[in-house]
Chain A
Amino acid sequence: MIESIRFWAIVILVAFGLFFTFVSAIGVLRLPDVYSRAHTASQTDTLGAGLALAAVALALGWQNATVYTVLLLFFVFITNPTAAHAIARSAAETGIDPWTSDADEEGESR
């Protein structure tokens, strides 16, 4: 009974991690400019990596490797939004304009 609950919890966590990484891949490919790509990459990839690493930690059980996995989860959860923030800020300071719908419709320079 408890083994079956653990099995399905691991499968569901891995499936949700895959789903969020899939959303992140679509966003990185399809969104129009670097700011929206930074948004989707940090948001969904943090969640995808977090859920997949939580599944690994749940599967490993009580041993030393689980401590590494939980540390890795914590580290990825903190550093991924920080890196995306730094990238978006460097894009802003090098003068990349954000994408707006006006530029798409009228085609005039801002």
Chain B
Amino acid sequence: MIPSGVTLEEVFLAAAALFVVLAIVMFYRAVAGPTTQDRLLAVNVLGTNTVVILALLAAGLDEPRFLDVALIYALLNFLMAIAISKFTVERGGVL
């Protein structure tokens, strides 16, 4: 039984808002993390959160173009995490 007055678009937009709140909470670790790896991990989690928010907005606002942005964002997020974690170990290496 679908409750009257609640549509799927509203469900997706409310979930996107809650994901934004959780991302703002997790931003504390990116600012205050004691080591570089803590900050990198927090930024990685924030990037994954951003991808999920973009996908939820694509479904909630009915704009499938946002999914392209989300795919590129996920690729760049992974590349950023690998590159910085390699760079912190081998300073002056290839990366």
The reply to whether B15 and A90 contact each other, CB–CB distance below 8 Å, is no
**Is A101 part of the contact surface with B, judged by Cβ < 8 Å?**
no
The reply to whether A72 and B41 contact each other, CB–CB distance below 8 Å, is no
Do A7 and B41 contact each other (CB < 8 Å), given the known contacts A14-B15, A29-B25? no
- Whose C-beta in chain B lies nearest to the C-beta of A10? B8
Do A94 and B37 contact each other (CB < 8 Å), given the known contacts A3-B2, A17-B52? yes
Residues on A with beta carbons closer than 8 Å to the beta carbon of B1? 4
The reply to whether A21 and B86 contact each other, CB–CB distance below 8 Å, is no
The reply to whether A49 and B26 contact each other, CB–CB distance below 8 Å, is no
Q: How many residues of chain B have a CB within 8 Å of chain A?
A: 45
Distance, CA A28 to CA B15, complexed state (A): 20
Distance, CA A76 to CA B83, complexed state (A): 17
Residues on B with beta carbons closer than 8 Å to the beta carbon of A14? 11-12, 15, 56
The reply to whether B11 and A11 contact each other, CB–CB distance below 8 Å, is yes
- Contact of B41 (CB < 8 Å), options: A34, A69, A71, A89: A34
Residues on B with beta carbons closer than 8 Å to the beta carbon of A53? 52, 55
The reply to whether B35 and A18 contact each other, CB–CB distance below 8 Å, is no
The reply to whether B74 and A25 contact each other, CB–CB distance below 8 Å, is no
15 contacts between A and B (CB under 8 A): A14-B12, A14-B56, A18-B22, A21-B22, A37-B41, A45-B48, A49-B48, A49-B52, A56-B12, A60-B64, A75-B74, A79-B74, A87-B41, A93-B89, A94-B36
Contacts beyond the supplied A38-B41, A72-B55: 16 A-B pairs with Cβ under 8 Å: A3-B2, A14-B15, A21-B49, A22-B22, A49-B48, A49-B51, A52-B56, A60-B64, A64-B64, A68-B64, A72-B74, A83-B81, A87-B37, A87-B40, A87-B81, A88-B37
